[in-house]
Structure 1
Amino acid sequence: MPALAIILIIIGIALLFTGIFVEAVKFLLFVGIAIIVLAVIAWLMRSIRNKT
């Protein structure tokens, strides 16, 4: 029984860390998309200003 408890604790900790990392990756994905959108807008503004 103690071996089963240790295995369950290890699995629980692994799932907890996996959940934290997945949430962090999702957050960083949204941050990356926002930065790309801002970079495209800045590039468009610069190219429009240079042509006029």
Structure 2
Amino acid sequence: MTYGADRIYAEVSYVAYHFHWPPDAILDLEHGQRLRFVHEIGAINDRLNEER
């Protein structure tokens, strides 16, 4: 199974936007780690949106 380039770009862009990490640092993460950061950022955003 391959992981689509569009999905990788979306994940890297999402983490880079929120954490201001360079793309290479994000790409160096294992897939599971990267997905965990995506999930955690989403949870943070959900909490912030609920507070508004």
On whether the aligned pair clears a TM of 0.5, the verdict is no
**Under a length normalisation based on structure 1, what TM-score does the superposition of the two structures give?**
0.44
